[in-house]
Each structure stands twice: as structure tokens, then as C-alpha cells.
Structure 1
Amino acid sequence: MTGLFGTLGTATRGMNVNQTALQTSGHNIANTNRDGYSRQRIHMQAETPYYMAGVGAIGMGVKATSVDRIVDSFIRGQVNEAYSKFRFYEQKSDALGQLERIMNEPSKTGLINQLSVMYDSWSKLGSNPELATSKTLVVKNSETFTDTIRQMRTQMKQLKGEVIANVEKGALDFNQKIEQLATLNDQIFAIASNGTVPNDLLDTRDTLLKDISGLANNTVKFDKFGRVSSLKIGGEQGPEVLNLNEVKKISVVSGDEDPSNTISLGGDAQQKKTIAGNALPLGTIVIADTTDPDNITVSEVALTEGEIGGFKEAGKEIDERMGELDTFVQSVADRLNAVYNRDKVPGEDFFTFDKDGNLEVNEQLRKNPSGLRTGYGTDEGDGSLAKDMAKVFSEKDGDKMTFADRYNNIVTKNGISKQQADNTAESQLTLLNQLEYKNESVSGVNINEEVSDVIRFSQAFQANARIIQTVSEMLDTLINRTGV
């Protein structure tokens, strides 16, 4: 349509489109400080022209075709990957830091210093074998050593329990977010299937995917509507836990013994289930098949990144340090007992193990330190046995290590692993910040730019309103002054 009414339609469409653009800019400004928000832009397109014979195409104004998010999917994928790695090393570092504090080296109360104190007490007893106080000092210092070992083992077990609890919490959180994502898929489809782009829902989807990446590494695929059509945990070769038709929960191997046949179903510590097949290490992530409640089978999931993976890796290293500590304690007991009870008389070892595997000083010696042997004969002045006991502390084993070297090696391994986790977490955080900045430069709201757009769109709105006013005056002249 041409003429004044055509011009009126053109101006009206111009007002409507610029009003929508103003609404979009206002929405951007309102969400400036909201995490995960992507700025939006209205896409304008020329209205279909009117073709007049003898004249040609006559423009009919503008129309709004869509309101689009300004995002770079590649950068967001990189952000999620960097975030997953950062959370892995951050949680691993935190757990190993707690283990480092349990080992408490170097310090005056640490095991290395206590080994030195034990050596000194045996050495002094060898020089003064007849002194009851020297015997008491040997026994008491050895008791302090065994008490410290017992406390360390208890704290390590508690730390391992805390790590498993954190893995369970992470699994529960992961499952909840996957269910939220499945619900969000339905909401996205309901809007997108009508030809409308659900921008704010897509922002929520991206935020959820980042949170999920922080828990466990994954790979994601989208369909044409923007739904997550496939999410695999543990990488491209991992199992699929979400598609358009199904949601699978991850579970955690838990229990009082390691390995275990018990899982926390769905990460819920209150839902303990017994599984069929071989026992698995504590903290292992699995997907359980509960089709037959009496014969639950599981498939293991390998996680190499994310918070859950970090705790799982830390738990593995805690187990290794505990095993090394047990080997160290056994070596101390065996080598000292071999000298103290060279005749292998039952019940006369210097060190014994209780029913829980804890190292203890012989109960008879604890009750009566004066019964401690100092020599190989009956001569009370013979301190040769005590001197030989002192020598054991400086002798090297098959790996050319003393007791102190052996324990220091355990501490050093943990320290190196902790430092590596710290350094990697720091570098990943730097990379993550750079990627976040890059993502923000693309998708973040620029107030100055939005205010400029507000002015630009408001002026266009006013100009179109002025056209309508002019057309109204022309129609008034045409109708009222010409008598048409």
C-alpha cells in the first residue's frame, strides 16, 4: 500500500521495532551484573517492498526478525574446560594440604624429630644401662612415637572419609544439575518449537553446563532447538548420562572397607546398596543398573577433571601415603625387634601390633620399664644391646635409606604432589580468568554502548512518531479542508 496510509504503516512499524529495541537495551542494562547473562541484540530487516507499476519497489519500512544472544560458543567451551581443570587441581591441592598438615613436617613434634629423640634415648641408655630413668625414657619416648603414628593413621582415615563424603556430595550435586538440565530442555523446546529463541533459558543452560563442568569433565552436543541432546561424563569415550529421552545418575562406591561392594546410590549417603561383582576402591564413580534390585550391577566411570575427579585423585594419593606409612612402621618394628629379640622369644619383642594393626610398645615394658633389656648377658652394666638398638636408626635398608630417610621420602612425595597441584591450579586460574575476560568482552553488557543505543533508538522512535504526526496533519488537510 502506498500513499498516506502506506506512510502511516511504515512509521508505525518503525515505532514498534524501535520500541522493541529499546526494551531489549533496557533488558540488557537491567541484567548488567547478573552472572551468566549474555547481552542481546534485536535483528532488524527491511519490510517486503511494494512494487508499483512504472515506478518499481517502494520501501515499506522495517521489521524485527529476532532477538539474538551475542555469544561465542567456542570461547564458552574453552571456559568450561579450563574451569573443570581448575576445580580438579584446586580440590586435589586442598586435600593434599590437609594431609601435609597431618604429617606435620618439619616440626618438633613430627616423626623425624621423634626418631631422633628415640635414637638419643637408646644411645644414652647404652652409656648408662644401670639407670632406671634411662630405661623409662626409652619406653616413654617410644610410646610417644607409637601414639603419634596411631594419631596420624586415625587422622588419615578421617581425611579419606571426608574425601569420600565430598565425592558423594559432588555426585549428588551433579545428578541434581543433570535433572535440572533435562527439565530445561523441555522448557527450551516448548519455546523454540514455536520459532522463538529462548535467550534467557539458553543463558541458564550455559550456566548449568559450566557448573557441571566444574564437577566433572564432560562432552556436550546440542540439537537445532538449543537443547542438550547428549552429555557424556568423563570425556568423549565416557558413558552418556543425558539425552533427549533419558537421564542416568552417577553413584559412588562407599562403605567401611576398601575396596567395597557398597555404593551410595545417586550420591545419596542415605541410600546404601550392595552391588554384584568385584569390590571397587572407595570413591570410584559408577553408573548403577538397578533393573534387578537384588542384583545391582555397575559400570565404572573414569574422571580426569572436575571437583569430583580432584577429590577422587586425592583419595588415591592418601591411600598411597597410608600404605607407605604402614610399610614404614612395619619396617621400624621389624628391624628394632630383630635386634632387641634376636633369639625370637615369644612375647619379648620391643614393639607389638594390637588387634587394629596399631604399633605399640610391649605391654610388659609399658607397665615395668625397668624390665627393658640393655645387654646380651646378665651383667647390669652391659649396654651393648642398647647401643646396637641405637645403631639401627642410622643403618640403611635395602633401598639405602635410614628410618628418617624413609619417612622423609613419604613426606616429600606428598609435598611434590601438593606443589604440582598448586602450580597447575594457579596456571589454570590464570587461563580461566583470561578466557572469562574474553567471554565477557563478547557477551558482557557495556553500559556506555547500551546508553548510546537507548539514545539512538529513542530518537528513531521520536522521528517515526513525527512522521505519524505529519501524516495526521496531511490527512486532516485532505479530509477537512478539501471536503473529500
Structure 2
Amino acid sequence: MTGLFGTLGTATRGMNANQNALQTSGHNIANINTDGYSRQRVHMQTEQPYKMTGVGMIGMGVKTAGVDRIVDNFIRTQTRDAYSKYQFFNQKAEALGQLEQFMNEPSKTGIINSLSVMNDSWAKLSSNPELATSKTLVVENSNSFTDMINQTTTQINQLKNEVIDNIEKSALDFNEKLKELEILNNQIYDLASQNTVPNDLLDTRDSLLKDLSGLAEVTAEFDMYGRVSSLKIGDKTGTEVLTLDSRKEISVVTGGTDPSNTISLGGKAQEKVTIGGALPLGTIVIADTSTNPAGYQNVTVNQGQIGGYKEAAKEIDASLKEITKFAQVVADTINTAYKAESGADFFTFDANGKMAVNQSLRDNPSTLVAGKKDATGVVQPGDGSLAHDIGQLFGKKDADNMTFADRYNSIVTKNGISKQQADNTANAQLTVLNQLEYKNESISGVNINEEVSDVMRFSQAFQANARVIQTISEMLDTLINRTGV
């Protein structure tokens, strides 16, 4: 349509388009501090022109073709991957840092110092084998050493249990966010199927995917509506936990022994289920409760908080076993020498693996044997040769070419190196993550100066179109009311 009414329609469309643009700029400004928000732009297109015979194509103005969400999906995928890796090393470093504190080395109150004090007391006993105080010192210093070993192993066991609890909580969090994503999929479809682009819902989707990647590495695929059509833990060959038709919960092996056949279903601590097999603590599975015991599918998690906690639990368990072996080596070495002359062990272990000085020696330190039997099978007064030989054992290298101190230092050093590597990698990954987030912000973030400039630009365009309408109105008034008979 041409003529005054055609021009009126052109101006009206111009007002509507610029009003939509103003609304969108206002929406951007309102959400400038909203985490995960992506700025939006109204996409304007020229209206289909009108062909006038003898004249040609007459322009019909502008139309709003849609509201675009300004994002770079490649950068967002990279950001999720970097975030997952950062959380892995960060949580691993945090757990190993606590282990480092429990080992408490180097320190005047650590196990190495206690080992040295125990060694000195044997050496002093060899010089004063009949002195009751020297015997008491050996027993008491040895008892302090065992207390320190037991306290350290207890703390490390508690740390391991805390790490397993954190895996359980992270799995529960993962499942809750997965449920939110399933609901969001339906909301996205409801709007997208009505030819409406659900920009704000897509922002929420991306935020949920980032949160999920912080818990475990995930790979997402999207359908034409913007829904997550497939979500896998790991890469494209990983375990699928969400489709458009189904959702699977992850569960955690949390039984009291390692390996265990008890899981926390869906990460819920109060819902314990027995599975048909034994798996290491902290293992992630998808359980099938239709059978009794429940079937399961192993899920590999190598990144995110869950992956970091799992890796930390593995290293904590290895350190615990090495400390237990260290204590056993010390006990066996001293017991072998002491029992040959006294007929009894110096150190004992209870049913729970707790190390202690023989109860009879603790009750009566004066019965401690310091010398060796002679040809008649009697230890002569003043003989401190056994105490001397036991003192020498502390500096003697074993079959692994290590002294007692070397063996424990090796355990501490391994953990220290692993902790340092995790710290360094976490810091490096944080740098990468910050760069990606900065790049994402430069693309999708709201620039207040740009938005204010747009408000002015669209406002002026709106006013100009309004002026055209006012002019057409005056022309129509002249045409209708001031012309004719």
C-alpha cells in the first residue's frame, strides 16, 4: 500500500521496531550485574517493498526479525572444559594440603623427630643399662611415637572419609542440577515451538552446564530448539545421563570397607543400596534397582570436583597404606632384635591395627631388657649391647635401601610433590579460565556505555518516526477537513 496510509504504516512499523530495541537495551542494562546473562540485540530487517507500476519498488519500512543472543558457543564450551579441569586440580590440592598438615613435616612435633627421640633413648640406655630412668625413657618415648603414628593414621582415615562424603555431596548436587536441566528443556521447548527464542532460558541452560562441568566433565549436544538433547559424563564416548526422554542419576560407593558393595543412591546419604559387586570407595555408578542386589554401570569421572576428590582419595589411601607399612617395618625390625633376647615383642598391634608398646613394659618399664644373653642364657648386669644394637637399627638401611627416617620422608615427599603439582596446575588452569571468561565477557557481557548510546539512538529513531506519524496526521486532517466542496 502506498499513499499517506502506506507512509503511516511505515512510520508505525518504525516506531514498533525501535520500541522493541529500546525495551531490549533496557533489559540489558537491568541485567548488567546478573551472573551468566548474555546481552541481546534486536535484529531488524527491511520490510518487503511494494512494487508500483511505472515507478518501481517503494520501501515499506522496517520489521523486527528477532532478538539475538550475543554468544560464542565455542568459547563457552572451552570455558566449561577449563572450569572442569580447574575444579579437579583445586579440590585435589585442597585435600592433599590437609594430608600434608596431618603429616606435619618438617616439625619438632612430627614423626621424624619422635623417631629421633626414641633412637636417642635407646642409645642412652646402652650407656646406662641398669638405670631405671633410662628404661622408662625408652618405654615412654616409644609410646609417644606409637601415639603419634596412631593419631596420624586416624586423622588420615577421617580425611579419607570426609573426601568420600564430599564425593557423595557433589553427586547429589550433580543430580539436582541435572533435574533442573531436564525441567528447563521442557520450558525451552514450550517457547521455541511457538517461534519464540527463549534467550533468558538459554542463559540459564548455559549456567547449569557450567555448574555441572564444575562437578564432572560433561559433553553436551543440542537440538534445533536449544534443548540439551544429550549430556554425557566425559567426552563423546562417555556415559549418557540425560536425553530428551530420560534422565539417569549417578550414585556413589560409600560403604565402610574398601572395596565395598554399598552405595548412596543418587548421592543421598540416607538411601543405602547393596550392589552385586565390590568397588573402591568413591566410585561413581549408575545403579539399576530393579534387581536385588542392584546392578550397576561404572561411570568414569576424570575431571571436576568429583574427579579431584576421587584422585585425592586414591592418593590419601596410598599414603595411609605406606604409613601403616612404615610403622610395621619399624615394629618388625625392633621386635626381631628385642624378642631374640627377651622372648617377647617390644611393639604390638591390636585388632584395629593400632600400634603400641607391649602392655607389660608399659606397666613395668624396669623389666625392659637392655643386654644380650650369654652362653648360659642370662643377661649380665651392666650389659647394654641389645640397646646399642637396637639403636643402630634406626640408621641401618633395609631391603629397600632406606632407613626408618628415609622411608617416612619418602611418604611426605611424595605427597608434597603431588600437592605442589596440583597447586601449580590449578593456578595455570585458573589463568586459562580467567582468560576465557574475560573473552566470553567481552563478547556476551553488557557494556553500559554502548547500551546508553543505543538508548539514545533508538529513542531518537522512535521520536523521528513519531514525527512522521504526526506529519501524516496533519496531512490527512488537511486532506479530509480542508479540501472538497
Does the alignment reach a TM-score above 0.5? yes
Counterpart of 1:148 in structure 2 is 148
Counterpart of 1:446 in structure 2 is 447
CA RMSD of aligned residues (A): 0.9
Counterpart of 2:376 in structure 1 is none
Q: CA shift at 1:379, angstroms?
A: 1.5
Counterpart of 1:75 in structure 2 is 75
Counterpart of 2:472 in structure 1 is 471
Deviations 1:374-420 (A, max 9, x none): 00132120000000000000000112110000000000000000000
Q: CA shift at 1:234, angstroms?
A: 2.3
Unaligned runs of 5+ in 1: none
Counterpart of 1:385 in structure 2 is 386
CA distance in 1: counterparts of 2:235 and 2:324, whole angstroms: 36
Counterpart of 2:280 in structure 1 is 281
CA distance in 2: counterparts of 1:177 and 1:18, whole angstroms: 38
Q: CA shift at 1:31, angstroms?
A: 0.2
CA distance in 1: counterparts of 2:175 and 2:404, whole angstroms: 47
Give yes or no for the alignment of 1:431 onto 2:432. Answer: yes
CA distance in 1: counterparts of 2:404 and 2:361, whole angstroms: 23
Counterpart of 1:406 in structure 2 is 407
Counterpart of 1:253 in structure 2 is 253
Deviations 1:21-54 (A, max 9, x none): 0000000000001000000000000111111111
CA distance in 1: counterparts of 2:207 and 2:436, whole angstroms: 15
Moved more, 206-215 or 469-478: 469-478
CA distance in 2: counterparts of 1:41 and 1:283, whole angstroms: 46
CA distance in 1: counterparts of 2:302 and 2:255, whole angstroms: 23
Deviations 1:268-312 (A, max 9, x none): 0100011112x10100001111122x2311111111100011001
Deviations 1:196-231 (A, max 9, x none): 100000000000000000000011100000000000
CA distance in 1: counterparts of 2:77 and 2:208, whole angstroms: 13
CA distance in 2: counterparts of 1:344 and 1:464, whole angstroms: 108
Deviations 1:309-359 (A, max 9, x none): 1001100000000110111111001101111112683xx110111111111
Counterpart of 1:115 in structure 2 is 115
- Opposite residue 282 of structure 2, the aligned amino acid is G
- Opposite residue 329 of structure 1, the aligned amino acid is A
Counterpart of 1:318 in structure 2 is 316
Deviations 1:56-97 (A, max 9, x none): 110000000100100000000000000000000100001000
Counterpart of 2:362 in structure 1 is 366
CA distance in 2: counterparts of 1:218 and 1:209, whole angstroms: 8
Give yes or no for the alignment of 1:304 onto 2:302. Answer: yes
- Opposite residue 371 of structure 1, the aligned amino acid is T
Q: Secondary structure at the match of 1:191?
A: helix
Partners of 2:341 and 2:372 within 8 A in 1: no
Normalised TM-score (structure 1): 0.98
CA distance in 2: counterparts of 1:284 and 1:39, whole angstroms: 41
Counterpart of 1:262 in structure 2 is 262
- Opposite residue 365 of structure 1, the aligned amino acid is L
Aligned pairs for 1:153-192 (under 5 A) are 153-192=153-192
Counterpart of 1:330 in structure 2 is 328
Deviations 1:172-199 (A, max 9, x none): 0000000100000000000001111000
Partners of 2:129 and 2:382 within 8 A in 1: yes
CA distance in 2: counterparts of 1:204 and 1:217, whole angstroms: 19
Give yes or no for the alignment of 1:86 onto 2:96. Answer: no
Partners of 2:254 and 2:282 within 8 A in 1: yes
Counterpart of 2:25 in structure 1 is 25
Moved more, 349-358 or 28-37: 349-358
- Opposite residue 428 of structure 1, the aligned amino acid is Q
Q: Secondary structure at the match of 2:296?
A: strand
Counterpart of 2:371 in structure 1 is 375
Q: CA shift at 1:483, angstroms?
A: 2.7
Q: Secondary structure at the match of 2:381?
A: coil
CA distance in 1: counterparts of 2:297 and 2:12, whole angstroms: 63
Q: Secondary structure at the match of 1:342?
A: helix
Counterpart of 2:3 in structure 1 is 3
CA distance in 1: counterparts of 2:458 and 2:52, whole angstroms: 30
CA distance in 1: counterparts of 2:29 and 2:381, whole angstroms: 91
- Opposite residue 121 of structure 2, the aligned amino acid is S
Q: Secondary structure at the match of 2:260?
A: coil
Partners of 2:342 and 2:369 within 8 A in 1: no
Counterpart of 1:37 in structure 2 is 37
Normalised TM-score (structure 2): 0.98
CA distance in 2: counterparts of 1:202 and 1:56, whole angstroms: 43
Counterpart of 1:415 in structure 2 is 416
Counterpart of 1:355 in structure 2 is 351
- Opposite residue 280 of structure 1, the aligned amino acid is L
CA distance in 2: counterparts of 1:474 and 1:236, whole angstroms: 66
CA distance in 2: counterparts of 1:19 and 1:9, whole angstroms: 15
Give yes or no for the alignment of 1:462 onto 2:458. Answer: no
Aligned pairs for 1:217-236 (under 5 A) are 217-236=217-236
Q: Secondary structure at the match of 2:45?
A: strand
Q: Secondary structure at the match of 2:276?
A: coil
- Opposite residue 56 of structure 1, the aligned amino acid is G
CA distance in 1: counterparts of 2:296 and 2:314, whole angstroms: 20
Partners of 2:111 and 2:148 within 8 A in 1: yes
Partners of 2:17 and 2:63 within 8 A in 1: yes
Runs of 4+ in 1 over 3 A off after TM superposition: none
| Percent of residue pairs bearing the same amino acid type | 69
- Opposite residue 434 of structure 2, the aligned amino acid is N
CA distance in 2: counterparts of 1:367 and 1:12, whole angstroms: 101
Counterpart of 1:481 in structure 2 is 482
Partners of 2:216 and 2:233 within 8 A in 1: yes
CA distance in 1: counterparts of 2:190 and 2:381, whole angstroms: 94
CA distance in 2: counterparts of 1:214 and 1:354, whole angstroms: 43
Counting matched residue pairs gives 480
CA distance in 1: counterparts of 2:326 and 2:232, whole angstroms: 42
Unaligned runs of 5+ in 2: 374-378
Give yes or no for the alignment of 1:63 onto 2:59. Answer: no
CA distance in 2: counterparts of 1:458 and 1:220, whole angstroms: 40
Q: CA shift at 1:235, angstroms?
A: 2.2
Q: Secondary structure at the match of 1:261?
A: strand
- Opposite residue 169 of structure 2, the aligned amino acid is K
CA distance in 1: counterparts of 2:55 and 2:163, whole angstroms: 79
